[in-house]
Structure 1
């Protein structure tokens, strides 16, 4: 059976290599130090505080050295890490506490006003400030620690419970296993050619799978170096990418657009970077070209909390030729596109993406109904509508829940959004379906421009000449900005609430 204790291996092979560096404080752990801190945590949590394999440890904190050391301790012991979105309201956090029933809740002091007033806290056996975790790590670093000698978790044991928004209105806890962790890293390393000498900067939040599993955990698996940045700041990030000589960076489209528009963009060198990885939404062609002129190639990707998350990758050499594509599936990912009758569709036909492989969740925490719905036959139903062209490149058409039907025709908002982004001066677009007495539903587009004098009439005329009539939005509104969720993606639920 393969080892789950990656950091112990790198502490042996490359003990003095920097594993983690907090770019806000300058503090750092080598692989030897990270392993030493995690060994002490593993012993303290299991022997002194009597936590057992499968117990949940909920964390309400930003990324830091000790948070990652806790993750490494979970790899060793089989404890389950439950990262929580610190931007949620108290009632929302309380639901998660009651749902996962943690044996330990750790909160960063800046969030204590939320953590300490939770009604469900009374049922949590142990509640620690983050400083208590930091103190344990410090004690572990003060004296040499023996190797972890306890039982290893099984490959199908969860290492994370990652909560995602649910269609019922209640979050679902996706189980993320040690097996998924390994095979996601293998897929990522093969696709991105990660080496132990590589450096990245992670500014994705820890409550999102991207904050752990896009680059952080694959980099730890390869013995590489991760810089931790608590908050995304475009000017400072551009400086740090040069300062740290980063090789790869992952961000969402909003980040890349803000960096491109930053005053620091013109003077940033970025000569060490091989490419950027972009996920979440399609990146407008003008942004790709702006970064290309800077010498930075873009690799568009695609993934899910429940599968991967690193599933598809568009090679940087195809960024312009296959604009809008998420590329091909990674090495250990099986794909199918199915129509509403469950039949596989051919090239350039739209179908629901179904996924299978060792990177697939076994299901949702204490939610057999949602598990059975998502995994009726071993294939995970993503709810995403994709098409595959003749060369095997995949294109995201839309989420099934975003699709609307106008006059009997399926309309995919993402297709219209991508088209409107080709209009000069348009920086962001969101299209939703709204009720219509004649057609059932029609489109409404919300458009952000770069301060240029662009009229709604001009945009609608542009659509009318290039899109099928049923795809042309009936309504179009110019807005100063679009609402975003906590990971920088456009919040269409908020837009729906305005109509």
Structure 2
């Protein structure tokens, strides 16, 4: 709808009220029509159109806390805390364009830092609290940050990691800064007025391919895909959201931004593990639950009680596409409206995206009656101007041809901070390469087969690890998480063979041998490449996860690279196929024979 048409429509819309803390229809339409609204100034627009500045909005759940321990934030609280932090930063000399590290487990504090730094025109460089301090130090050094606010227990290790780098102008513990009284005046112009391309956030990637990359987000760019959600995110009088995304991640900021604008009461979690989220659902009774796929997987493995999800209408996930086995279970829970009445079953919004995309750019909406699976990620979001599949030489492929996914969209990052070469390599023919392998069908729907770095080159051709993982989850409900990777093939050392590292639900007595038999039976039935081996991952050999919860397949590959070349299992529960066992015996014999011959000759 054109702006002028929307403005005429606004004049005819009566003022509506969707509950004490929810924005009325008119206020949301006004926000939708505001050209200046962006990621750097949304709080001030929300305050301008807020119906009740003191109504509870965010409910922060401290670690180990319950419903009696919530710290409640209203719009007024956000404004006051933002101003207090901004005074502190201004007094410390922070100004327009400065990068400041924010490294705290406190989700609401992280959000307030984001607001305060943007109110000065500075750029928050937020770091997931799970990042190792030494890695965080190297990351901030690359950004040439002027200072950092960090949890007290990580301040020392972080500074030790900065020993060989230029020192910060200031360092502060989150606890000390939060307790400090307001310091000094605000700038003469406050809040800062952002231009369209002014950076408002530097958010790191998950680190699945090495050192986390520093994706830069702009005022208009980071908000572009969120504008339509002002009208589409559930926001009726009884709606409540549970935020299980890390609040320091760009996805966490995105949904906190939307909650602020539409007045959606939101429970902010500091922990994303399935057990903690499931417990919070029992008493918060959310209608909308957001999180990465691993959180939902863990909840289901623990046996999520239907009563905990009784009010859920919408599950929202992003990053890697979710697995069919988990989506089917979730959409059977909760409720949806049909012909004016509540019916059993909810909807799962499965979004494929990455930090660099600024949002999920492909969306598949699953429900009790849908059946678009087989790694289908649906259609591109409306904000995407074009989505294509390229071959290795940058030629566009036709329907049902597997290649490299690429998008042309205003939501894509402004680039990697300080790394123009990497930014340039991510662009092909004006499209941003998402780093994913997939294809488009005849109906224009896209399918996600793998990350480009995780495709396994076997003797029989390429094998896509995610398609094998899909069958593993369907074949064995006891599997909480799995990583299919390629390890050295003993028959042809320049090729690789797929193996699976599996994490099982606590208490499971399944063995690696039983799992290998069951999984390979399912893979044969599905026409997929079979596994050469399975490893049960636990304790010191648990599946390594990145700071945002993604499996670090490069580390799994390194850990088990020689698995098929030796029968030394290091105390792990490992199973190999009979073929692989036979090859191992032949390899052992070929090594032992020359030794025996030398011994006979010496005698």
Fold match (TM-score > 0.5):
yes
Question: How far did residue 447 of structure 1 move?
Answer: 3.8
SS at match of 1:306: helix
Q: Which residue of 1 aligns with 2:546?
A: 485
User: Is the counterpart of residue 131 in structure 1 residue 175 in structure 2?
Assistant: yes
Give the C-alpha shift of residue 342 in structure 1.
1.4
Deviations, residues 386-439 of structure 1 (Å, cap 9, x unaligned): 222233222211011111222362221111221232214452432212233437
Q: Name the CA shift for 1:154/1:316 in 2 (closer, same or farther; >3 Å).
A: same
Distance between the aligned counterparts of 1:148 and 1:34, measured in 2?
19
Instruction: From the superposition, tell whether residues 233 and 167 of structure 1 become closer, same or farther in structure 2 (CA, over 3 Å).
Output: closer
Aligned to 1:3: 37
Distance 2:532 2:172 in 1: 54
Corresponding residue of 2:347: 297
Match of 1:30 among 60, 70, 74: 74
**Residue 425 and residue 183 in structure 1: after superposition, are their counterparts in 2 closer, same or farther (change >3 A)?**
same
Residues 404 and 441 of structure 1 are in contact (CA less than 8 Å); yes or no, is this contact kept in structure 2?
yes
Partner of 1:466: 526
Q: Shift in Å at residue 373 of structure 1?
A: 0.6
Secondary structure of the structure 2 residue equivalent to 1:18: coil
Q: Equivalent residue for 2:56? A: 18
For the pair 1:494 / 2:550, whether they are aligned, the reply is no
CA contact (8 A) 2:316 2:349 kept: yes
In 2, distance between residues paired with 1:479 and 1:7? 45
Instruction: Give 1:321 shift.
Output: 0.2
Per-residue CA deviation, residues 258-306 of structure 1 (Å, 9 max, x unaligned), is 222436x336343332211123444444433333332243221111101
Match of 2:482 among 418, 429, 433: 429
CA-CA distance at 1:183 after TM superposition: 1.1
| 1:83 paired residue number | 126
Cα distance 1:381–1:196, how it changes in 2: closer, same or farther (>3 A)? farther
Could you tell me which residue of structure 1 aligns to residue 372 of structure 2?
322
In the superposition, the TM-score normalised over structure 2's length comes to 0.74
Matched position secondary structure for 2:474 = coil
In the alignment, structure 1 residue 309 sits paired with structure 2 residue 359: yes
The residue number in structure 1 matching 2:582 is none
Aligned to 2:101: 58
Report 1:125-204 matches (<5 A): 125-135=169-179, 139=182, 149-164=190-205, 169-189=210-230, 192-193=233-234, 198-204=239-245
Instruction: Quote the residue 2:110 is aligned against.
Output: 67
Residue 195 of structure 1 and its aligned partner are, at CA, apart by: 6.4
Matches within 5 A, 1:248-267: 248-262=288-302, 265-266=304-305
Distance in 2, matches of 1:314 and 1:177, equals: 26
Deviation at 1:2, TM superposition (A): 0.6
**Displacement after TM superposition at 1:194 (Å):** 5.1
Q: Is the 8 A contact 1:175 1:363 kept in 2?
A: yes
Does the residue aligned with 1:57 lie in a helix, a strand or coil?
strand
Q: 1:150 deviation in Å? A: 4.9
> Does the CA-based 8 Å contact 2:482-2:503 persist in structure 1?
yes
CA distance in 2, matches of 1:58, 1:252: 24
- How far, CA to CA, are the matches of 2:435 and 2:186 in structure 1? 47
Distance 1:227 1:274, change over 3 A: same
The structure-2 alpha-carbon separation of the partners of 1:49 and 1:196, relative to structure 1 and needing over 3 Å to count, comes to farther
User: CA shift at 1:162, angstroms?
Assistant: 1.5
Give ranges in structure 1 of 5+ residues lacking alignment: none
Unaligned runs of 5+ in 2: 1-34, 63-68, 335-345, 562-603
Change in Cα spacing, 1:241 to 1:291, as seen in structure 2 (3 Å) is same
Q: 1:271 to 1:420 in 2, by over 3 A?
A: closer
What is the CA-CA distance between 1:3 and the residue it aligns to?
3.5
> Aligned partners of 1:187 and 1:304: how far apart in 2?
19
Cα distance between partner residues in 1 of 2:469 and 2:165: 44
Alignment partner of 2:114: what SS? helix
Q: Which among 490, 495, 506 is matched to residue 440 of structure 1?
A: 495
The one-character-per-residue Cα deviations of 1:314-359 (angstroms, maximum 9, x if unpaired) are 1133785012322221110131111112122222221211122221
Q: How many residues align?
A: 491
Q: Could you say which residue in structure 1 is the equivalent of 2:588?
A: none
Q: 1:167–1:252: structure 2 CA closer, same or farther, 3 Å change rule?
A: closer
- Of 262, 266, 269, the match for 1:229: 269
- 1:413 matched to 2:451? The reply is no
CA contact (8 A) 1:76 1:148 kept: no
Instruction: Mark the CA change 1:400 to 1:122 in structure 2 (over 3 Å): closer, same or farther.
Output: closer
Q: TM-score, normalised by structure 1?
A: 0.88
Residue 476 of structure 1 and its aligned partner are, at CA, apart by: 3.5
In 1, distance between residues paired with 2:106 and 2:323? 30
Give SS of 1:288's match: helix
| Counterpart position of 1:119 | 163
Deviation at 1:193, TM superposition (A): 4.7
